[in-house]
Structure 1
Amino acid sequence: MKSNFTTVTMGLIAAAFATGAVAQEKVRVAFVPQIQGIPYYVAMEQGATKAADALGVEYIQQGPTSTNSADQLRIFESFVNQGVNVVGVSPVDVETLKPAIAKARAAGIHVITSDADAAGSEREFYVAQALDQDLGYTILDEMVERTSEDAKIAIISDAPTIASLNAWIAAIQDRAKTRYPKLQIVSVDHTDGTAARAFQFATDAMTRNPDLKGIIGIASTTCPGIGQAVEAAGRQEQIVATGFCSPNTVKDYVLSGAMSYSVLWNPADLGYLTVWAGKQLADGKPFEAEPKVDGLEANVRWMADEKILLLGEPAVFTKENIEQFNF
Structure 2
Amino acid sequence: MRIGSTRLLATAVAAALALGLTACSSDSTEPDAASPSGGSGNATGTIKEGLKITFLPKQVNNPYFDISDNKGGKVAVEEFKGTFAQTGPSEGSPSAQVSYINTLSQQQTDVIVISANDKDAVCGALTEAKTAGAKVVTYDSDTRPECRDIFVNQATGDGIAKNQIKLISDAVGPDGGEIAILSASANATNQNAWIELMKTELAKPEYSKLKLVDTVYGDDKDEKSFQEAQGLLAKHPNLKGIISPTTVGVAATARYLSGSSYKGKVALTGLGTPNQMRAFVKDGTCKAFALWNPADLGYLAAYAAGALASGIITGKEGDKFKAGKLGEYTVGANGEVVLGDPFTFDAANVDQFNFG
Residues in 2 aligned to 1:247 and 1:187: alpha-carbon distance in whole angstroms: 27
| Residues 243-254 of structure 1 aligned to structure 2 (within 5 Å) | 243-254=270-281
Equivalence for 1:87? 112
Residue 342 of structure 2 is matched in structure 1 by 314
For the 8 Å contact 2:153–2:338, the answer to whether it is kept is yes
Looking at structure 1, the residues matched to 79 and 329 of structure 2 have their Cα atoms a distance apart, in angstroms, of 18
- Tell me whether 1:203 sits opposite 2:230 in the alignment: yes
User: Does the aligned pair in 1 maintain the 2:183–2:218 contact within 8 Å?
Assistant: yes
Equivalent position of 1:9 in the other structure: none
Query: Which residue identity lines up with residue 183 of structure 2 in the other structure?
Result: S
Matches within 5 A, 1:46-61: 46-61=71-86
- 2:305 is the counterpart of 1:278: yes
Kept in 2: contact 1:154–1:188 (CA 8 A):
yes
How well do the aligned residues superpose, as a CA RMSD in angstroms? 2.0
Distance 1:156 1:133 in 2: 18
> Once the 2 structures are TM-superposed, how far is the Cα of residue 255 of structure 1 from its aligned partner?
2.1
Distance, in Å, in 1 between the alignment partners of 2:226 and 2:329 is: 36
Secondary structure of the equivalent of 1:306?
helix
Preserved contact between residue 110 and residue 134 of structure 2 (Cα < 8 Å): yes
| Structure 2 residue 285 is the aligned partner of structure 1 residue 255 | no
Partner of 2:62: 38
Equivalent-residue separation in structure 2 for 1:86 and 1:181 (angstroms): 46
Shift of 1:38: 2.1
Q: Which amino acid aligns with 1:302?
A: V
Shift of 1:273: 0.4
**One-letter code aligned to 2:324:** D
Aligned to 1:183: 210
Kindly report which structure 2 residues correspond to 1:298-309, keeping only aligned pairs within 5 A, or say none: 300-303=329-332, 305-309=333-337
The separation in 2 between residues aligned to 1:110 and 1:290, in whole angstroms, is 17
SS in 1 for 2:242: strand
* Residue 140 of structure 1, CA deviation: 0.6
Measure how far apart 1:291 and its partner are.
Answer: 4.7
Evaluate the alpha carbon distance shift between residue 54 and residue 197 of structure 1 in structure 2; reply closer, same or farther with a 3 A threshold: same
User: Is contact 2:145–2:335 with CA below 8 Å preserved after alignment?
Assistant: no
1:294 positional shift: 2.4
1:12 counterpart residue number: none
Match of 1:216 among 233, 240, 243: 243
Aligned to 1:233: 260
**1:160: which partner in 2?**
186
Secondary structure in 2 matching 1:295: helix
Q: Deviations over 1:263-305 (max 9, x none)?
A: 11001001110110001001101276665432126x84431x2
Determine whether 1:116 maps to 2:141.
yes
In the other structure, the counterpart of 2:160 is 135
Equivalent residue, structure 1, for 2:221: 194
* 1:32–1:89 Cα contact (<8 Å) kept: yes
Q: Confirm whether residue 172 of structure 1 aligns to residue 201 of structure 2.
A: no
Shift of 1:240: 1.4
- Secondary structure in structure 2 of the residue aligned to 1:70: coil
Asked if the contact 2:123/2:144 (under 8 Å) is kept, the reply is no
Give me the TM-score of the superposition, normalised by structure 1. Answer: 0.86
Partner SS, residue 233 of structure 1: coil
The whole-number CA distance in structure 1 between the counterparts of 2:99 and 2:203 is 40
Contact 1:31–1:87, Cα closer than 8 Å, also in 2: yes
Amino acid at match of 1:28: K
Whole-Å Cα distance in 1 between the matches of residues 209 and 153 of structure 2?
A: 31
Instruction: Verify the 8 A CA contact 1:39 1:249 in the aligned structure 2.
Output: no
Deviations 1:17-64, CA, capped at 9 Å, x for gaps: xxxxxxx96111111101112221111121111111211111111221
Give identity over the alignment, percent. 26
SS at match of 1:223: helix
1:13 is aligned to: none
* Alpha-carbon distance change, 251 to 111 in structure 1, aligned in 2, over 3 angstroms: same
Aligned residue identity for 2:188: I
Which residue in the other structure is 1:27 paired with? 51
Unpaired stretches in structure 1, ≥5 consecutive residues: 1-23
Number of aligned residue pairs: give it: 302
Letter in 1 for 2:57: P
For the pair shown, which has the larger CA radius of gyration, 1 or 2? 1
CA–CA separation in structure 1 for the residues paired with 2:121 and 2:204: 33
